[in-house]
Amino acid sequence: MLDIFFAPIQGYTDDVYRRIHYKHIGGVKNYYTPFVRVEVGAVRSKDQRDIAPENNSGVPVVPQIIFNNRKEFEYLTDRVKSLGYNEIDLNMGCPFPLQARHGRGCGILAHPDIVSEIIEGIKEHNDTTFSVKMRLGRDNPSECEKIIELLNNVQLRHITLHPRTGIQQYKGTVDYNAFERVYRQSRNPIIYNGDIVTLEDIKRIENKYPNIKGIMLGRGLLCAPSLAVEYANDKQWNNSERIALMLKMHDALMAEYSRILKGDTQMLNKMRTFWEYSEQLLGRKPYKKVMKSGNLKNYLSAVSELKFL
- Write down the domain spans for the chain: 3-233, 239-308
Per-residue pLDDT tens digits of the chain, which is 309 residues long: 899 999 999 999 999 999 999 999 999 999 999 999 999 889 999 999 999 999 999 999 999 999 999 999 999 999 999 999 999 999 999 999 999 999 999 999 999 999 999 999 999 999 999 999 999 999 999 999 999 999 999 999 999 999 999 999 999 899 999 999 999 999 999 999 999 999 999 999 999 999 999 999 999 999 999 999 999 999 999 999 999 999 999 999 999 999 999 999 999 999 999 999 999 999 999 999 999 999 999 999 999 999 988
CA distances from 164 to 172, 177, 187, 208 (A): 8, 11, 21, 18
The amino acid at residue 273 is T
What is the third-level CATH fold of 3-233? TIM Barrel (3.20.20)
Say if residues 84 and 57 touch (Cβ distance below 8 Å).
no
Q: How far is CA 153 from CA 116, 118, 176, 188, in A?
A: 10, 12, 24, 9
Measured N-to-C along each axis, helices 143-151 and 176-185 cross at an angle, to the nearest 10 degrees, of: 20
User: In this structure, are residues 105 and 136 in contact, taking their beta carbons and an 8 Å threshold?
Assistant: no
